[in-house]
Amino acid sequence: MKAHDGMYIDGDWRPAAGTESISVVNPADEQVIGQVPAGTAEDVDAAVRAARAALPGWAATPPAERAARLAALRDVLAARKEEIAETVTAELGSPLEFSRLVHAGVPIAVAGSYAELAAEYAFEEQVGNSRVLLEPVGVVGAITPWNYPLHQIVAKAGPALAAGCTLVLKPAEDTPLTAQLFAEAVHEAGIPAGVFNLVTGLGPVAGQALAEHEGVDLVSFTGSTAVGRAIGATAGAAVKRVALELGGKSANVVLPGADLAKAVNVGVANVMSNTGQTCSAWTRLLVHEDSYEEAVGLAAAAAAKYGDRIGPVVNAKQHERVRGYIAKGVAEGARLVAGGPEAPREHGYYVSPTVFADVTPEMTIAQEEIFGPVLSILKYRDEDEAVRIANGTVYGLAGAVWAADEETAVAFARRLDTGQVDINGGRFNPRAPFGGYKQSGVGRELGAHGLTEYLQTKSLQL
Ligand code: NAD
């Protein structure tokens, strides 16, 4: 695995200002696979200056040319797909097949969607006697997590570049090698120097310096609600734009008459994929009391099949945290029907695919984001109660509804306080807006809605 001993700033790999470094660990065997520099405020400042200097040129670049650079970026990512998959597997631990399909495949699709959007989007519109110009917001500070390391970078860099913004990325400390690979791809795609810059480093040091930098016009953050809240407060005090993509505790609601086996099996697969480290995972399964025990049996059997097919969680801290939540579920009286808190292997940060039945809405495991392979099954008596339970957390990021027909499922979905709902197993759409209601965040990513986060309007009265 190649690791750069420097920051990608102004089109070049430059030595870091400080001497500290971060060890990258493979969570499957706990071995160190590389070192990257731990950036300081000085590195962040150099990167923001480079982004600011490049802004006028990139903002004035015709959208068709920005689209061509994004198409080239998509092509480089596609050409280096296998290397991306191997890098994500090495630092995140996901099975290689999943890394190929999702961790490498989805960012290629998203980069492609922004190449198309940059070409087709109307950056000017007429409103009565006004010509409204949609202009880039400026320099973007992007702070990303480790759970979908490349997707979360491309979900910010794609629309930022399409809009004409320049950016500085501070990726998660657990997955910096994927971010370095992305910087190489940006370079290969011929995106001009300074338009994209990378500073690796610790959240409270480099991340905070980026969020607080007065040369940044928009902070786009994905990660925990605690850090998101602090970033939102900092941005608010500076009257600076902010986009927050935070946690979730989404519900998978099976209505009477739905295909129960399909709903449960797809639901378990959704929670177990990426070892449960998905902010939009449907971690609460809501089933009518008449089908409850059948659903519990199906879920336990489905989880058991995942036994050794899932990867580890990302690091030692998450390993402790996730198993702590499982122990808490047992202590609060939920019925364990698959898995448990014991580490299933001696080495690597593995967690057993776990299913709890008899979970009540106020339990910790029904309220807090666990970020591990843990499913909670709750019981409802009627639709109103199902809506109350589904909406009864501080989050509102995603969800699923299954019913005998689409119309019934859609009618139920309209009552959910959440940003995205899959109806009877609807497919992922890289152009559909993604983002949260309530404490799941502010703003939207992906597609045209994601692009507008990076634009500001200027009205000319003619
Ligand atoms: P985190 O919020 O600490 O980290 C996300 C990013 O923010 C990283 O790049 C990190 O370096 C940076 N960061 C951390 N502190 C910062 C600060 N003070 N200022 C600026 N940037 C800072 O998340 P984590 O510790 O990696 O994970 C903890 C929990 O967050 C998880 O268990 C999960 O519940 C949640 N999470 C959610 C998502 C999501 O997609 N919504 C992703 C990852 C983690």
**pLDDT, tens digit (0-9, with 9 covering 90-100), for 224-234:** 999 999 999 99
Are 233 and 260 contained in the same domain? no
CB-based contacts of 325-330 (< 8 A; 24+ apart in sequence): 325/364, 325/365, 325/368, 325/370, 325/372, 325/374, 326/351, 326/354, 326/365, 326/372, 326/374, 328/364, 328/365, 329/356, 329/359, 329/363, 329/364, 329/365, 329/374, 329/376
In a domain, residue 1? The reply is no
Type of residue found at 179 = A
Residue 308: the pLDDT is 77
Coil/strand/helix, residue 404? coil
Residue with tokens 């890098």: 87
The minimum-distance atom of ligand 1 relative to the CA of 226 is 2
In a domain, 365, yes or no: yes
Atom of ligand 1 at shortest range from CA of 170: 9
**Residues 8-42: pLDDT tens digits?**
999 999 999 999 999 999 999 999 999 999 999 99
Give residue 438's region: left, alpha or beta (phi > 0; psi -120 to 50).
left
Domain count, the chain: 2
- CATH number, position 290: 3.40.309.10
Report the residue among 225, 227, 395 best suited for mutation to probe ligand 1: largest number of ligand atoms under 8 A from its CB: 227
**By the 8 A CB rule, do 447 and 431 touch?**
yes
State the pLDDT confidence band at 186, using cuts at 50, 70 and 90. very high
pLDDT tens digits, one per residue of 147-156? 999 999 999 9
| Same-domain status, 210 and 340 | no
Asked if 140 and 161 sit in the same domain, the reply is yes
Q: Pick the catalytic residue: 91, 173, 279, 369?
A: 279
Instruction: Based on the residue annotation, tell me whether 116 is a catalytic residue of this protein.
Output: no
278 & 209 share domain: no
Do residue 165 and residue 61 come from a single domain?
Answer: yes
Please give the share of the chain, as a percent, with pLDDT higher than 90. Answer: 99
Helix pair 105-120, 63-79: axis angle to 10 deg: 170
Instruction: Look up the domain containing 21 and give its range.
Output: 6-246+439-461
- Averaged pLDDT score across all residues of the chain: 97
Q: In the beta sheet, which residues pair with residue 376?
A: 284, 356
CATH of the domain at 208: 3.40.605.10
Mind giving me the DSSP string for 172-207? -TT-HHHHHHHHHHHHHTTPPTTSEEE----IIIII
Residue 318 lies in a domain: yes
221 and 262 housed in the same domain: no
**C-alpha 430 to ligand 1 mean position (Å):** 23
25/118 same-domain check? yes
| Sequence letter at residue 147 | N
Which pLDDT tens digit goes with each residue over 273-328?
A: 999 999 999 999 999 999 999 999 999 999 999 877 899 999 999 999 999 999 99
Which pLDDT value is given to residue 1? 72
Is residue 123 scored above 80 in pLDDT? yes
Q: What is the pLDDT of residue 154?
A: 98
Whether residue 119 sits in one domain with residue 75: yes
Same domain for 188 and 141, yes or no, is yes
Same domain (yes/no): 282, 296: yes
Residue 2 has pLDDT above 90, yes or no: no
Q: Do 112 and 25 lie in a common domain?
A: yes
Quick one: which atom of ligand 1 is closest to the CA of 245? 41
Mean pLDDT of 422-432: 96
- Ligand 1 centre to CA of 41 (Å) is 19
Respond yes or no: is residue 369 known to be catalytic: no
pLDDT at residue 309 in the model = 85
**Pocket of ligand 1 contains residue 409 by CB under 6 Å:** no
- To the question of pTM greater than 0.85 for the whole model, the response is yes
pLDDT of 168 strictly over 80: yes
pLDDT tens, residue by residue, 241-279: 999 999 999 999 999 999 999 999 999 999 999 999 999
* Whether residue 275 is found in the same domain as residue 234: no
Question: In percent, how much of the chain has pLDDT > 70?
Answer: 100
